[in-house]
Structure 1
């Protein structure tokens, strides 16, 4: 979900599974479907839009659904129904391992904030083409039936939903077309979608703002540089002439990786040293996996499990969670639980106590997966509250909380700056979750005597996070990220990779707003003019609640709406 996650994910290239999606209706080239959710933000209409934009035949065989592009459209309910009449349209690229549903809260909050100031704007949250392979049938069926077990049964017990069975997770050999979905296809998909939805280039230049979260900032920069008609002497088709400005959500509008001298270190991915031809040959032969995945923690199955955990917390936040026991045991799930819920190295090595030895509410289980005081990877962290209901101690795995004292302070870039905490009473009380707006006095203290967190550092409503994970028809997560995207960005200077990224003035050609998480990835290197959201983590710039603990409106969406209105 983060730009720096490119390195973490690319370093673990083994791939498994991709799920097939339902076939699209070939009778029309555009389908718009209303989306109903339980969001407390009123006055915002959401639809899912699908547009048929086939891949070139050279991409190879693929499901028919993958010849469609999809996005979530959020607009002011009191505003014009036609996008061409909106005051402004924000077009957002997701980060790595991230889908359109991740923009749910920031999109609604931004549209609502603009409406309060008399502006009718739209927010388009893009889903990358490869997400066509996701199968949301089980989660959507569980949501409709209000039964999370139905979702688990669909994915793990071959239980049919409306006559459909889960096809399982496909092998690398079954997704050969992903080797052709890289940087060029991704920016061209955005261009083709924008042109389809708003054919008048003058209107696009006037109305559209381009941006994204994390990796989305890098993709936006390449988009701004790209020449889409192949004639480098003309500029009407140039990416920067499709946008009136840019927005960066805990990222930069730059073709280089922030904090890494702009490059992916080749020591971490030795294959890059052999160049673009070797990488492409590896993809075509299957030696290089065509989708980024790790044996545990980050892969197709665990991304889907986040949606299932979100569904449980959405349906019954205070109910006892049984997902760890109800989901069948496997190397992937068991190792993921051990990585996330081990108190220290002896616990991890011994494998005891396990997560199944603790009692959690559904909200606490979700908080344990994604909260910044629990989730060990910074690019997957949100500030959603804290544990409640039992003894809490320092979580010293995969790294101790006192990194600075042992000379490992630099690991905070990967692990985040906040101390990690974990329940410490197996076979004991039912651990609950204090939501972001209930964190005040009485927060347990770390071993150094300081509270693990405070109200000022909690910004996302766990109920809204659960809703975004479970209720969106386009997923919050990205189950399979094309490896070629990573290698193309790393090797963009090589011939044949980004030959049409010729308008290098593109990222500087329009105004930019940088909206950085104070405790996230971008906030660690603030630049003049940045809007920094104090206490926010990398995911919080997308998920923060409209009402904050300091009594002020949510800072990211408020400033983004004001920028769009200029």
Structure 2
């Protein structure tokens, strides 16, 4: 009898650690967008639709952050539709996701396919700035409003974009949620916006260089580029299919499982940038300290190879489940990243008063919920000061979720952000 009690307590504890989630298959839907020189075939954005459970009450539209794709929100969405009955979840993919060649994910060897990936010529991408994306988002919101009120929820730079939509067409939504992001994250002056500036890791081109063709129209700096994003997704996709298989040559400079090779790129112990870090465990290999991390004022470790055998990955019970996280990439339709993130969009958001002077501070009729990650971009309530500046005379509730990284706030196994979001949705009229 005592053994059954112990087993029951264990299962109860596992239930708390892994909150329940919807197990259906979301629909990937195209939404016509703003007209540009790219043409009607590309002038569309997309939503990954998680249907409401129970009598429909409304829709929450999630906006991904810098370089983010719709499946950023898969773990959160699957929990939220059960925690907030009646609310559908739409995870938005910006229009550039339609440019991705995802045929490699249905090929026999996705890694080999993207080793030979050639980036297409995309001159129209320089025109896909803030106004185009806000107009696209308006069309998504309009379509969602046919089923009831709409709440926007943005993560990171997506929180900036969602905030700017509230300044642009705030009367069309009934709520605003910011996940480790705020209206203004990286401000640029008018001079920097047009003429460029020197950043901590090199030169950042301005709008003049972009329009004159002297800068790539998509993010291509600091090792971040479409080929790298495609290859990273191929690694994760293959890992989800067989986590314990040997990593193919080129994945890591040492013998490792696919899981160990893939997660060492993003785990917070090894990732150089907090923007792309998630706490998913630890490598079993020999470790060293990254000298580059010391140069920028932090301590990040490197994996140097096996301790007597193949490098494996250990789930140490941190915030995010490693296998669930890696499975978020395993989707031939859409993915965790946006390979062709328009450089124009990042410029416009950083200097939005210059790019769209009509975007001025305004009060909105609904409260703003801001959730910070204790180990993320905005770990303190004071980091959300720009929310009050953008929305004067508006009630702003700030909550910090302790112990989470920037991505954990979306992917944690206990769904830390689900409860506050579900409670917020209960108060939406």
TM-based fold match above 0.5: yes
TM-score (norm 2): 0.83
Question: Does residue 282 of the first structure (1) align with residue 209 of the second (2)?
Answer: yes
Structure-2 separation of matches of 1:61 and 1:270: 23
Partners of 1:316 and 1:362 within 8 A in 2: yes
Counterpart residue number, 2:412 = 544
Counterpart residue number, 1:468 = 328
Partners of 1:359 and 1:427 within 8 A in 2: no
Question: 1:153: how far off?
Answer: 3.1
Q: Please identify runs of 4+ aligned residues in structure 1 that moved more than 6 A.
A: 265-270
| Count of aligned pairs between the two proteins | 390
Structure-2 separation of matches of 1:376 and 1:266: 30
Question: 1:270: how far off?
Answer: 8.1
Structure-1 separation of matches of 2:340 and 2:376: 24
Counterpart residue number, 1:564 = 425
Partners of 2:279 and 2:405 within 8 A in 1: yes
Structure-2 separation of matches of 1:522 and 1:556: 15
Structure-2 separation of matches of 1:460 and 1:318: 19
Which of 231, 253, 260 lines up with 1:305 in the alignment?
231
Question: Does residue 510 of the first structure (1) align with residue 370 of the second (2)?
Answer: no
Which of 358, 363, 366 lines up with 2:259 in the alignment?
363
Structure-1 separation of matches of 2:412 and 2:238: 20
Counterpart residue number, 2:287 = 393
Gaps of 5+ in 2: 1-18, 198-204, 385-395
Question: Does residue 378 of the first structure (1) align with residue 274 of the second (2)?
Answer: yes
Question: 1:246: how far off?
Answer: 0.8
The one-character-per-residue Cα deviations of 1:242-297 (angstroms, maximum 9, x if unpaired) are: 11111111112x2x22xx6xx23789878247xxxx95543332013211212x52
CA gap of 1:267–1:378, structure 2 versus 1, over 3 A, is farther
Larger radius of gyration: 1
Partners of 1:136 and 1:473 within 8 A in 2: yes
Counterpart residue number, 2:119 = 169
Counterpart residue number, 2:31 = 51
Which of 359, 363, 371 lines up with 1:501 in the alignment?
359
- Aligned to 2:51, the other structure's residue is in SS state strand
- Aligned to 1:360, the other structure's residue is in SS state coil
The one-character-per-residue Cα deviations of 1:539-560 (angstroms, maximum 9, x if unpaired) are: 11111114xxxxxxx2211211
Question: 1:49: how far off?
Answer: 1.0
Counterpart residue number, 1:36 = none
Structure-2 separation of matches of 1:529 and 1:196: 28
Partners of 1:359 and 1:428 within 8 A in 2: no
Counterpart residue number, 1:244 = 174
Question: 1:460: how far off?
Answer: 0.8
CA gap of 1:40–1:509, structure 2 versus 1, over 3 A, is closer
The one-character-per-residue Cα deviations of 1:279-337 (angstroms, maximum 9, x if unpaired) are: 5543332013211212x521111111221121122011122211516xxxxxxxxxxxx
Counterpart residue number, 2:113 = 154
- Aligned to 1:324, the other structure's residue is in SS state coil
Counterpart residue number, 2:83 = 113
Gaps of 5+ in 1: 1-38, 81-85, 158-165, 227-238, 326-354, 413-418, 440-454, 547-553
CA gap of 1:530–1:286, structure 2 versus 1, over 3 A, is same
Structure-2 separation of matches of 1:191 and 1:264: 25
Partners of 1:45 and 1:75 within 8 A in 2: no
The one-character-per-residue Cα deviations of 1:438-492 (angstroms, maximum 9, x if unpaired) are: x2xxxxxxxxxxxxxxx5xx21111111111122622210112112112222333
Structure-2 separation of matches of 1:272 and 1:382: 31
Structure-1 separation of matches of 2:249 and 2:86: 42
TM-score (norm 1): 0.64
Counterpart residue number, 2:11 = none
Question: Does residue 183 of the first structure (1) align with residue 158 of the second (2)?
Answer: no
CA gap of 1:532–1:525, structure 2 versus 1, over 3 A, is closer
Which of 92, 103, 117 lines up with 1:126 in the alignment?
92
